[in-house]
Amino acid sequence: MDEVFKALADPSRRSLLDRLHAKNGQTLNELCEGLAMTRQAVTKHLAILEDANLVSTIRHGREKLHYLNPVPIHQIGERWIRKFERAKLVALGELKRRLEQSDE
């Protein structure tokens, strides 16, 4: 679990996870597009995310694709969120999303 929190502590790595959340299954080239990070830096960050099991990679044809793996985050949630709190948290999250949307 330490590895997960260390990996998430860096804004560049969180932005890589955001990019995978927006579009799952990207190649290294796709992930580098439009980023103010060198390819080497992206590679290094991806390795840390993969070691923390927050990113899964697969070979698809000749490409290596990167996928967001939310399983460790789910396990963190299970540790501190009680069963009966989950529905209330989903409802609160939905309320926040709707209220913030209506301001756009």
Partner 1 sequence: MDIAKFKPAIVYTIYIASTPEKVWQALTSAEFSRQYFFGHSVDVDLKIGGAFIVRTPDGALHISGEVIECDPPRRLTVTFNVNWPELVDKLGPTLVTWEIEQAGEAVRLTLLQSQDRELGDDILSGGRSGWPAILSGLKSVLETGRPLVVQMAPPQRMLDALKAMGIKTP
Query: Is residue 92 classed as helix, strand or coil in its secondary structure?
Result: helix
Q: Does 29 bind partner 1 (CB under 8 A)?
A: no
SS (H, E, C) the chain: CHHHHHHHCCHHHHHHHHHHHHCCCECHHHHHCCCCCCHHHHHHHHHHHHHCCCEEEEEECCEEEEEECCHHHHHHHHHHCCHHHHHHHHHHHHHHHHHHHHCC
25 sits near partner 1 (criterion: CB under 8 A): yes
- Decide if residue 51 touches partner 1 (CB under 8 A): no
**Sequence letter at residue 51:** D
Single out the segment in contact with partner 1 by CB under 8 A; choices: 11-19, 26-34, 39-47, 63-71: 63-71
Q: Is 76 in the site for partner 1 (CB under 8 A)?
A: no
Least Å from the CB of residue 36 to partner 1: 27
Per CB under 8 A, the list member of 34, 36, 40, 71 interacting with partner 1 is 71
Interacting residues toward partner 1 by CB under 8 A? 24-25, 53, 56, 58, 60-61, 65, 67, 69-71, 74-75, 78, 83
